[in-house]
């Protein structure tokens, strides 16, 4: 009868480093829009997300939009006085929040 046992001397053991997933800081804010979130404003929010390397999402009622789709932001139908939840994930989330809140409050020129 043959044994299926192999000698441990011939086995190469590899030690793999433990990689810890870095959790990106995430913040959420409840806001009331003071302006309209149309195409130009949505494009500006996407530009802010790209410049700060953050992921930005906005929820209004049962609708949800993200900076990965300009149409999802436009379809939120944000008008003055409408409440929304702004969620920003990334290292530079404070900078992104300042810029996006200016856009939502109508304090900035969206053409820049």
Tokens for 91?
């290292």
Between the two ends of the chain, the Cα-to-Cα distance in Å is 81
Tokens for 51?
């410049």
Query: What pTM value is reported for the model?
Result: 0.74
Query: Could you report the per-residue pLDDT of 23-68, keeping only the tens digit for each?
Result: 678 889 899 999 889 999 999 999 999 999 999 999 999 999 999 9
CATH number for the domain running over 24-104: 3.30.1340.10
Give the residue among 101, 83, 79 at the shortest CA–CA distance from 27: 101
Domains in the chain: boundaries: 24-104
């Amino acid at each position: 009868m043959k044994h299926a046992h192999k000698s441990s001397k011939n086995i190469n053991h590899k030690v793999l480093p433990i990689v810890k997933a870095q959790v990106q800081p995430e913040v959420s804010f409840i806001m009331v829009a003071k302006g309209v979130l149309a195409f130009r404003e949505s494009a500006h929010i996407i530009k802010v997300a790209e410049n700060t390397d953050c992921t930005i999402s906005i929820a209004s009622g049962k609708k949800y939009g993200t900076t990965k789709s300009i149409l999802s932001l436009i379809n939120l139908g944000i008008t003055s006085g409408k409440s929304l939840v702004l969620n920003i994930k990334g290292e530079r989330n404070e900078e992104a929040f300042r810029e996006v809140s200016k856009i939502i409050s109508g304090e900035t020129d969206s053409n820049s």
